[in-house]
Amino acid sequence: MPLIIVTGFPTSGKTTRAKQLHTYLTERIQTAPPSGSAPKYRLHLISDQTLSISRSVYDLSALPAHTRSANASEKDARASLYGAVKRALSDRDIVILDGLNYIKGWRYQLFCEAKAVRTPSCVLQVGCSRERSRLLNEARLAREAAVEGAGEARREGNDVDGDGDGGNEEGAYEPANWENLVFRYEEPNAMTRWDSPLFTLIWEDGEEQAKQVFDSLWDAIAGDTRKVVKPNQ
Ligand code: ADP
Ligand code: MG
């Protein structure tokens, strides 16, 4: 099935929403089939973290200016993500792609990939103000610095950053890298085929709103009324 492209600023809450959506879809898939039959869909969550892609691949400031256009590490990262999506994607597999997905040409490529296997795609935009996202990244940087100081505790697997996630928090972006990614971010546009249908959740949206958005997302890509995808459309 269906490809769900999550997009938003760096440290804007994308992974949090992707996980909420994963939980929602797990339940939905289990309850969807008539009792006794196998679930109709398998669910996959793909992200930089699941493929061990480092934040630094997006860092243009680490490269000399003349090589920026050929940022090989980001291209390699995109190739890995693309390969992982391609391997999982089918009419029976729901793929959540949690990541920046900030280049519209990239979203277009993913849209075409879904179309090639005749399965729908959609975009889930995670809305968060620049200022809040920046502060979250700064807080992560500060925690990483503290964790480096407590290297021993980390090696022993303790939750040194004290946020209850066992120390497995996602990496922070270097400030210049963060600014640059926000600058380069290409907002999704619901008027284009590859960014639609477009669903949005903002930071303040609570459980109820999230459920409503996930319900309409399900209807669009997996429900009985979902659009039939023709490869030549
Ligand atoms: P991203 O994947 O975009 O880097 P995360 O989902 O990891 O962002 O979120 C960054 C931080 O913000 C995490 O500590 C997370 O718990 C918190 N967070 C994310 N979304 C929300 C929200 N809607 N309300 C409150 N806290 C949130
Ligand atoms: Mg994330």
Q: Would you call 123 helix, strand, or coil by DSSP? A: strand
pLDDT at 121 over 70: yes
pTM: 0.88
* pLDDT confidence of residue 214: 98
Q: How far is ligand 2, taken at its centre, from the CA of residue 37, in Å?
A: 34
User: Ligand 1 pocket check: which of 136, 178, 211 to mutate, most ligand atoms within 8 Å of Cβ?
Assistant: 136
Higher local confidence (pLDDT), 170 or 53: 53
* pLDDT confidence of residue 142: 94
User: What ipTM is given for this predicted complex?
Assistant: 0.99
pLDDT at 165 over 60: no
- Contact (CB, 8 A) for 79 and 87: no
Q: 15-29, 30-44, 159-173: lowest mean pLDDT where?
A: 159-173
Give the confidence band of 167 by pLDDT, cuts at 50, 70, 90. very low
Mean pLDDT of 43-54: 95
Mean pLDDT of 81-104: 95
For the stretch 133-156, pLDDT in tens is 999 999 999 999 888 887 655 555
Residues with CB under 6 A from ligand 1: 8, 11-16, 136, 170, 203
- Contact (CB, 8 A) for 195 and 107: yes
* pLDDT confidence of residue 159: 44
Higher local confidence (pLDDT), 152 or 52: 52
CATH class of 3-130+182-221: alpha beta
Measured at the alpha carbon of residue 117, what is the angle toward residues 186 and 1, in degrees to the nearest 5?
Answer: 80
Ligand 1 atom showing the smallest separation from residue 16 Cα: 6
Mean pLDDT of 83-88: 96
Higher local confidence (pLDDT), 152 or 199: 199
List the domain boundaries for the chain: 3-130+182-221
* pLDDT confidence of residue 113: 95
**Alpha-carbon gap, residue 134 to 205, rounded angstroms:** 19
Q: How far is ligand 2, taken at its centre, from the CA of residue 84, in Å?
A: 17
* pLDDT confidence of residue 231: 64
Residue 156 C-beta-side C-alpha neighbours within 13 Å: 6
pLDDT at 25 over 60: yes
**Alpha carbon of 157 to those of 145, 160, 162, 173: distances in Å?**
16, 8, 12, 22
